[in-house]
Structure formats: C-alpha cells, structure tokens
A and B are shown apart, each in its own frame.
Chain A
Amino acid sequence: MSDAKNEWPLWEVFVRTKAGLDHKHCGSLHAADPKMAVQMARDVYTRRQEGSSVWVVRSDQIVASDPGDKDMFFDPAEDKVYRHPTFYKLPDAVDHM
C-alpha cells in the first residue's frame, strides 16, 4: 500500500514549441528531483518534436490569483475602453495609422 507522503512531488511543465515563441503550460507530472522532471517532461510532452525548450516548476511554488476573486480582480479593466486603439475614430484619410 502506498503512502501519500512518499509520492513524488508534482511539477508543472512549460514547453517552447520553437525559437521565438513563448513557453506555454502544457501539463504536469510527478518527479523526484528537477533533473528527472526535465527528462520526464521531454518524454511525456515532446515525443513528436513538440518542443525546443522545456521549463519545469514545482507546482507548490506557483502563486496564482484566486478564482473566487476573478470578477473583483479583473473587472476594473472592463470600463477602460480607451486603452484600445479602436476607441479612437479618426478621419478616413488617416485611419490606417
């Protein structure tokens, strides 16, 4: 019978598909240490050359916004339409700027 305390820690995996693009979160895995986590990320998430670079981060080290506060947290941007270029109506002759 396995003991939850002996479970290998959880890591989040981020893969850069090719040079010039962002690393993107693609899943998670269990591994004993950082080196193993990188190797397993390669085997689990890039078996078909999906990546040119891999990051792994211990899941318990990630700080995230609270989904319960989502509205309060993100809504302040909602009424600031002037932050978008389309807010400004310019004469046709120069509208492509």
Chain B
Amino acid sequence: MYTQAMDTMAREGAGKLERVLSADEQVLQERFDARIDAGDFIEAKDWMPDNYRKTLLRQISQHAHSEIVGMLPEGNWIGRAPTLKRKAILLAKVQDEGGHGLYLYAAAETLGTSRDQMVDALHSGKAKYSSIFNYPTLTWADIGTIGWLVDGAAIMNQVPICRCSYAPYARAMIRICREESFHQRQGYDSLLVMMQGGTDAQRAMVQDAVNRWWWPCLMMFGPPDDQSPNSAQGMRWGIKRVSNDTLRQKFVDATVQQAQVLGVTLPDPDLKWNAEREHWDFGTIDWDEFWRVVGGEGPCNRERLEKRVKAWDDGEWVREAAMAHANKQAMKEAA
C-alpha cells in the first residue's frame, strides 16, 4: 500500500539527477525513453538511468518495509481474536503481509541492493514505511476497519502499479493484488457481523474505529498533486500511473456506499455528492498531521520500529545456526 516513497523524496533531499551523461549514456538514455514511451517493460539486467533505479529501489523497498511493519498492528490482535474462525483468518492475513514483503524485497534486490542493506536502512530509521502503521489498533473493530479501509485504500493504490514499467515490481504487484482482495472483504465481513448482530456497544466500537482510521487512510494516498513534485517524473517513467488526488477521490467514491450498507457514518461533515463533478466532495485533510507522522512523531512510530528491531535481533542466532548447519552439511557432502 504503501508507496509514499516518491512523495517524501523532495523533503528528504533525495532523487536529484546531478551527473552529466556521457555520449554513450545519452544513446542508452534515448533508447530507454523510447522503450518507456512504447509501453515496454524494463527487466533487471536492462540498462536504466541511475535515477530510475534509485527511485524504484526507494519505492519498492519502502513498500516492502510497509508490508512487514504492517504485520505488527494486526499481529497485536491474533491472540485476542474473538473466535477461532477470526483467528485463523487473521493469521492467514498477517502471513500474507509477510509474503507480500518478501515478494517486494526480492523485486528490490534485482536492482542491486542486498536484503541486509534494506533491513539495515529500515532499522536505522533511514528508510521509511507507510504512515498508516504508526496508528494504534485499540479495539477488535480496528482490525476489521484496517481490512476494509486500509487494505481498500491499498488496493486502489496498488492496482495501477501492476502496470509499472519495471517488470519485477509489476509481477510482484500482480501477485499481491490477487491476494489483497481477501483482506478487504474479510475486514468488511467482520464489521458487518458486529453492526448487524452485535450489541449497541459493539456498534459504537465499529463507529469509533472508523472515525479514527478514516482520515489517516485518506492520507495514505500522499500529498495533493500540486505538492507532489516527484509525481511527474514517476509518471514519465511509468512507475506511477495514476495521481494521488485521482486515487484518493476514487477511494472516497467507492467507500461512501460501503459505509451506508455497513451502517456507519464517515467522520466528515463536508462529505456530500457533487452532481456536477459526479464525485463525492470531502473536507480538508490535515497535512500537518501527515508530515508529523512521516517525520517520526506519530502515535506508534517508536514502538513499531523497536518491535521490528527486537524481532530481527532475537532471530539472529537462528539465522546464524541455520547457516552454520548448511555449511556443515555441504562440507560433509563434499568430503
């Protein structure tokens, strides 16, 4: 979901093309541009401009980090799922997120950076993950709401990336999108159970969760188009296919009716149908909050990263032991 990397580049001073190209490189660059214009896919071993590689590496690795960190808010509820059925579903979903992280790390590795380098970048705070995972999951209704809204926003955002010009990323995204639909539907389904068969307190719990997640979900699509300076280059390269505001509008339009069917309201007094535009108008997003959360000051930034680093450190002896065992077996076989 989780492709804010390009949007935060400008603020982090990344993504400037400073180097002057040699004559040979200029020819390669022209050929590359022509291939992009023709809608061709770029494969790992093909020539590509440095900045294309850098931008992709940034986006794919941060996307991978988001999937992995995204396991934490939901994993938090596996032990407390209300029924065995919900627990099995949640386990499957969290396992999927882990799988999605792995597909994406593998795609990023084809660009010439090792898995360990990427993990180090996440753990040192150098690399970011999606802002959405820095919000807490306070009740069981948060889990359903994450499936419905967070994964719903993710799908909206990810479907166009299946046509990304960088083929290994596009292939990973196709696989991910195929699996993601289950995530959204199981979330909505679990909320529906509470809204239709639950107590007043449970219904209030669902409404409360929706109230807390709605705005952060709208922020997931990234800053408005006029404040997203790297979008144009991303579009030119076929990395980004649809603009932030277009995707956000599409998400709002799709969600309004789902909220009505569910029986919850969306926490926005300015939400109303605009017959002229044939879209839902919505209120102003608090971008100061977005940038605070991206900058590390969200409710859970510290906790998420601490948990991630601890899991990695605690697993170190296992990774070492597995490697030592493999080396021993290999030596035995060679002898």
Contact = CB atoms under 8 A, between A and B. Distances in A.
Contacts of A43: 95, 99
A6 B103 CA distance: 21
Contacts of A30: 115
Interface of B: 43, 45-46, 92, 95-96, 99, 102-103, 106, 109, 114-117, 119-120, 171-172, 175, 179, 319-320, 322-323, 325-326, 329-330
A47 interface: yes
B120 A29 contact: no
Nearest to B110: A28
Nearest to B329: A33
Contacts, number: 57
B329 A27 contact: no
Given A6-B320, A7-B115, A47-B95, 9 more contacts: A1-B120, A6-B323, A8-B323, A27-B106, A27-B171, A29-B106, A33-B322, A33-B330, A44-B103
Given A29-B106, A33-B325, A67-B46, A4 B117 contact: yes
A2 B92 CA distance: 29
Contacts of B320: 6
A interface: dominant SS: mixed
Nearest to A32: B322
A4 B330 CA distance: 20
A2 B116 contact: yes
Contacts of B120: 1-2
24 contacts: A2-B116, A2-B119, A3-B116, A6-B319, A6-B323, A7-B115, A7-B116, A8-B322, A27-B175, A29-B106, A32-B322, A32-B326, A33-B325, A33-B326, A33-B329, A33-B330, A36-B322, A36-B326, A43-B99, A47-B95, A47-B96, A47-B99, A48-B179, A67-B45
B279 to A, nearest CB: 35
B115 A27 contact: no
Given A10-B109, A27-B106, A32 B325 contact: yes
Contacts of A26: 175
A47 B179 CA distance: 10
A4 B114 contact: yes
Contacts of A27: 103, 106, 171-172, 175
Interface in A6-33: 6-8, 10, 26-30, 32-33
Interface string A33-75: 1001000000110011000000000000000100100000000
Contacts of A48: 179
A17 to B, nearest CB: 13
A43 B323 CA distance: 20
Contacts of B106: 27-29
Contacts of B92: 47
Nearest to B316: A2
Nearest to A33: B326
A32 to B, nearest CB: 4
The 3 closest A-B CB pairs, nearest first, are A32-B322, A33-B326, A2-B116
A8 B325 CA distance: 12
Given A28-B106, A29-B106, A8 B99 contact: no
A2 B102 CA distance: 18
Contacts of B119: 2
Contacts of B117: 4
A43 B46 CA distance: 30
